[in-house]
Amino acid sequence: MELLRQLTETGHDVRVVPTESALAFVGAATWSALSGAPVSASTWDEVHQVPHVRIGQGADLVVVAPATADLLARAAHGLADDLLTNTLLTARCPVVLAPAMHTEMWEHPATQANVALLRSRGVLVVEPAVGRLTGADSGKGRLPDPEELARLCRSVLARGGLVPDLAGRRVLVSAGGTREHLDPVRYLGNRSSGKQGHALARAASARGAEVVLVTAAGLPDVAGARVVRVTSALELRAAVLAEAAGCDAVVMAAAVADYRPAHRLTTKRKKTEQLTVELVQNPDVLAELVAARHDGQVLVGFAAETGDEDGDVLAHGRAKLARKGCDLLVVNEVGEPGHPTGFEGDVNAATVLGADGTVTAVPLGSKDALADAVWDLVRLRLPVR
């Protein structure tokens, strides 16, 4: 119901097509009241309107949440024994299936074969989340957060029905600002919210990629991504280096602290009139990725810059691109709170510099739009399979 609310409140006209089993949990009257449209699981209601054909034909997006193991099997093999599976057969728009089941059912070879078959046909099957299941069980198989699932659906709609062009690719995204603890209470940090990194992970998931998100941000898990939570620069480095070798692309959107305290106290530091903290430099994770990259891997860095007496934002960006050796560098101007781009806000603008000399300006817009622009440039650089 939360997914329905998220979609209707953002202006979408939603028709609910439940299965008979779904109606055992929430009745047709409730779905109808919430969606403002008639609800039925049968192909025999309102026959004069031919609903088993018309609903799929008229849809801009079909999303099934939760998608059970049984539904995945029926969809994969073209069965059409109720209104929902008829709708899936007649739909020519993007289809998003969000599985939810016990871990053993998700991992069963039959389910995995059905998922692979659906994905080969261009269906976006979202990876389930990890967490509490029914009863006392926990594991992979939980329905993703409804708000994040709605964001993913809106990302698919925004792409205008294009095929999942990152299907079969494995990508890694880092996000958020790291925290370097002085003691159990205080830390050195920055203003990065992680929103741009999470938008990049969401966009990649919406385009069919297998996504690993290494994040220091306190944001909800991105639907379809495997999320690795970290705090410090050293934790982020360890997680990224552990995952990067198996990835087709790595996008380092995290704002990694340049320095950390040389000594972290185990008890709270007492207040004094003067405080001196010795700092040591953190490793350059992007430089390590460049040194260890495999053939065909695309590496993307981010540079949050301000102009100064030594040059403007782009001058600093070009110098950083040459120094880092990555394929693409996303350069955006940041400033004090209230600055239209950069940290904390919901919009961004950037210039993407390529090692091949290309310069791509991305105008002010949503962070989701910038994320898609970055993946467009990454996709052009990925080896053809």
Q: Say which DSSP state 93 is in.
A: S
According to DSSP, the β-strands at 347-354 and 359-366 are antiparallel
CA–CA separation, 147 vs 33, rounded Å? 20
The one catalytic residue among 114, 190, 282, 332: 190
Interatomic CA distance for residues 348 and 164, integer angstroms? 24
Let me know if 190 is a catalytic residue. Answer: yes
Q: How many CB atoms lie within 10 A of CB 265?
A: 14
Burial class from Cβ neighbours inside 10 Å (0-12, 13-18, 19+) for residue 241 reads middle
The pair phi, psi for residue 79, each rounded to 5°, is: -75, 150
Helices (H) and strands (E) in the chain, counts: 14, 17
Q: What angle do CA 148, 153, 157 make, to 5 degrees?
A: 145
* Whole-angstrom distance, CA of residue 99 vs CA of residue 119: 13
Output the DSSP codes for 232-280: SHHHHHHHHHHHHTT-SEEEE-SB--SEEESS--SSPPPP-S-----EE
Active site residues: 190
